[in-house]
Amino acid sequence: MSKKCDGCGEPYRGFGTTCANCRRRPSVTTPKSADMTGDVPPDHCQVCRKRVYAMEAHNAEGHLFHKDCFQCVTCGRKLAGTNLQRT
């Protein structure tokens, strides 16, 4: 039985409403593509929109992220350090 994926619209087989490829993709709200306007409370992560506590916080360009959420959009690697540049 084939279903259409909610994410890409392609047919797939399996459980849920999204295909395996769409589940593996970075979330729709990544640091590069996120709408970084005032819709996220100041103490919440820009990616997952959950509260960020001091021990897990990463601040970049004035926005707050969890250490695990702050990752490269292209390869998915976690980013760390202070010498980072947006392309």
- Residue 71 DSSP symbol: B
End-to-end CA distance of the chain: 42
Tell me, what's the pLDDT at 50? Answer: 93
- For residue 11, list its beta bridge partners: 4
CA torsion sign, 15 to 50 to 76 to 61? positive
Q: Which alpha helices (H) appear in the chain, and where do they start and end?
A: 20-24
Give the pTM: 0.50
Per-residue pLDDT tens digits for 12-51? 887 778 887 877 766 544 444 444 455 888 899 999 999 9
Q: How much is the mean pLDDT over the chain?
A: 78
Indicate the pLDDT class of residue 82, thresholds 50, 70 and 90: low
